[in-house]
A and B are shown apart, each in its own frame.
Chain A
Amino acid sequence: MSASPILSAFRQALTEAWAGGAGALMPLGFFAGAAVLVPLGIGTDPTTLRAVGPGILWVALALASLVTLERIFQADVEDGALDLWLQTGAPASMIAAAKAFAHWLTAGLPLAILSPIFALMFQAKADTSLLAHMGLYALGGLAFFFWGGVGAALSATVRRGGLLISLIALPLYVPTAIFGALAMSGGPGSTGAPLFLAASTLFALAVAPFAMGAALRLAAD
């Protein structure tokens, strides 16, 4: 009984992401745009590009998550779907987590999977480390979507909440961005960083749903 609203929220988020033309392709376009514009902006020197590539992709991933998240809870508040889910007595935190997870699946995970292509465009060496980086982008993206989801849930009743979400999410994105970029730097500290990244993502998974749930109950009032 209490599982069904969570499932329906998850399914609805999936269809929502694919429907309406842009959907899941929008963050991908955003990601590709950043990857293509950066070499035009900072020059085409291969060593420079190789050095900044992973960092640029982290920034693009963070920004792409913000682009997706702007409306994920707003539509549910407006069309009353949120009220229906909450009336069934399902925990708001699980509904919120299901939605954030669905959006990570449709917008975050594809970016991570395509990351080797963009890494190659940034002159990265084609070896197995690109596959490991894929995992790191996926993991870090999960944290981005959950913390960004907190911003989205808090500003669900605010029209044009995009700027607000960015402002709220920015400080929360810091640990993930630092650990993620550090893990790929290859320098000192890069061996422990993947563990820290995993730990901070787990922390996001543990804490963010409750904050999102509280924010959604507020939005439904």
Chain B
Amino acid sequence: MFSWFANPHRFLTLSSWLAPVCYALGALLIAWGLWQGLWIVPKDEYQGGDIMRVMFLHVPAAWLAMASYMGMAMMSFIWFIWRHEVADIAAKAIAPLGATWTALCLATGSIWGKPTWGTWWQWDDARMMSVLFMFFLFLGYMALRAAMDTRQKAARAGAILAMVGAINVPLIKFSVDLFTSLHQDASVITVDGPKMAAVYLWPLLASGLGHSLLFAGLVMTLMRAEIWQRRAAQIRARLMAGD
């Protein structure tokens, strides 16, 4: 199944229509989620009033922070075992975009935290800490790839690091949870609340799916750019050899 996608040419054909579809559907879903989230749904007094409307941006970003890292690690694994070039191109494309959404998750969480907790940064919050370390994993991955002098080396080193990071994520998560559960401040309002009202659920799901589709579309476009770049480099190399 992986091999079918492994052909760059097939990927270019597939993504030429799939990426625009992702953009269109993603834009629609995000727009609907925003409209519902900002205009329609009532504010939740239990969650601190209108500030919970940040949820429709923050939660999709948090979901993508986790999902994109896992996606990158999976692509790295596939590349490492089967050496499918497209998988490496995917991992490389996911990194900067995943880092962007992870940073967005941190920033919106921080903005949400200020009126709710009275502080921009809460060391006691396990989710903030985990996402921060996720962000560092992305940064390390990108820096490592950028430091390698050949494409092949960048792919191999990146894949090793992404896999090491991925198997460490549960341990990091566990340690951070333990750390924060002992420091928990009773006055902290839990952002998830006891249960989420159904009015918020649909806009939230729409936003989450919309962001995921937009993300997938961007990854595909970035992958296309990388494939074109590699082709151009190949042709240049052949021209040089021919001279």
Interface of A with B (CB < 8 Å)? 150, 154-155, 157-158, 161, 163-164, 167-168, 170-172, 174-175, 178-179, 182, 187-189, 193, 196, 200, 203, 207-208, 211, 214-215, 218, 221
Contact = CB atoms under 8 A, between A and B. Distances in A.
B202 interface: no
- Say whether chain A's binding surface is mostly helix, strand, loop, or mixed: helix
| Residue from B139, B176, B182 having most chain A Cβ neighbours under 10 A | B182
Contacts of A174: 133, 172, 175-176
Contacts of B156: 214, 218
A161 B147 contact: yes
Contact of B175 (A175, A188, A208, A214): A175
B33 interface: no
Interface string B76-102: 000000000000000000000000000
A187 B133 CA distance: 25
Contacts of A172: 164-165, 168
B157 interface: yes
A154 B164 CA distance: 11
B144 interface: yes
B26 to A, nearest CB: 30
Interface of B: 133-134, 136-137, 139-140, 143-144, 147-149, 153, 156-157, 160-161, 163-165, 167-168, 171-172, 174-176, 178-179, 181-182
B145 to A, nearest CB: 10
A207 B140 contact: no
A167 B137 CA distance: 8
Contact of B171 (A154, A158, A161, A175): A175
Contacts of A187: 182
Contacts of A167: 136, 139-140, 143
Contacts of A200: 171, 175
A221 B136 contact: no
